[in-house]
Amino acid sequence: MKQRILVVEDEVQIATILKIELEYEGYEVLVAHTGKAGLEAALQEKLDLILLDVMLPEMNGIEVLRRIRNENTLLPIILLTARNITMDKVTGLDQGANDYITKPFEIEELLARIRSCIRQNSIAAKASKEVESILSIKDLFINLDTREVNRGDFSIALTPKEFDLLVYLLSNKNKIVTRENILINVWGYEYEGETNVIDVYIRHLRKKTEEGFSDPTIIQTVRGIGYTVREN
């Protein structure tokens, strides 16, 4: 699948040249000629990078950048500016731009910056995904992708429902979860069985994840409310 780039540039000739050059390099290119049109496309389209001119009609590039960053903190954005003024660069970077280039520029330099931004974003996204796939508390780790549970050097075998319950508790680490919320989120809205099923499964989890370890306590009871897992 082609990587998609949005060019937000009010000078039609420059926008056309950029579109031709980028398409030649294998990118799919969208073009907007005003700040408002660019913002709308940025928020609606699936994009890999934005080339954003600073001087735009209807809404300037810095304001477009600021509004995009309120919704999407990861999308790579390179500012295009005709003014070689330090304040423009500083403001843009402070508002979340990944890079900037001053017009007129060599297309090869721009292409190199585009490749660099997309590559860095890909690495960051991969790292973020890897972090999100692991839940932990103390020396207990859950791998959401492989459904493996380990405490220290020991592997812990859980039933599917025990696993789901432990994941829900760790996903709400340092928060108190009520029995009602546990039933809704782990057993589902349609569950009509005995409510003491939670006590049974909590007891099983404690036996498997706490007994025999030097710092045993993982799941804490909050009397009259529910349960919590805390680092301390």
Domain ranges of the chain: 4-132, 134-229
pLDDT of residue 85: 66
Mean pLDDT score of the chain, rounded to an integer? Answer: 88
Q: Is the pLDDT of residue 71 over 80?
A: yes
- Reading the block at residue 31, the tokens are 């073009």
> Measured between alpha carbons, how far is residue 19 from residues 6, 10, 26, 67, 134 in Å?
9, 13, 11, 24, 41
> pLDDT per residue over 140-188, tens digit each?
999 988 889 999 889 999 988 899 999 999 999 999 999 888 888 888 7
- CATH no., domain 134-229: 1.10.10.10
Average pLDDT rounded to a whole number, residues 47-67: 95
**Strands of the chain, DSSP E:** 4-8, 28-32, 49-53, 77-81, 99-102, 134-137, 140-143, 148-151, 154-155, 176-178, 219-222, 226-229
Residue identified by tokens 């190199």 is 112
Maximal CA-CA distance, the chain: 72
Residue 84 confidence class, pLDDT cut points 50, 70, 90: low
Contact 76, 51 (CB under 8 A): no
Predicted TM-score (pTM) of this structure:
0.59
Contact 84, 43 (CB under 8 A): no
Q: Is the pLDDT of residue 124 over 90?
A: no
Closest CA to 49 of 117, 138, 125, 120: 117
- CATH entry, 4-132, from 3.30.360.10, 3.40.50.720, 1.10.10.10, 3.40.50.2300: 3.40.50.2300
- Reading the block at residue 42, the tokens are 């940025």
The Cα 65–Cα 42 span in angstroms is 10
Residue identified by tokens 């999407």 is 72
The Cα 76–Cα 99 span in angstroms is 8
7, β-bridge pairs: 31, 51
Average pLDDT rounded to a whole number, residues 95-124: 89
Q: Is the pLDDT of residue 32 over 90?
A: yes
- Reading the block at residue 216, the tokens are 């045993």
pLDDT of residue 104: 87
Type of residue at 229: V
pLDDT of residue 194: 67
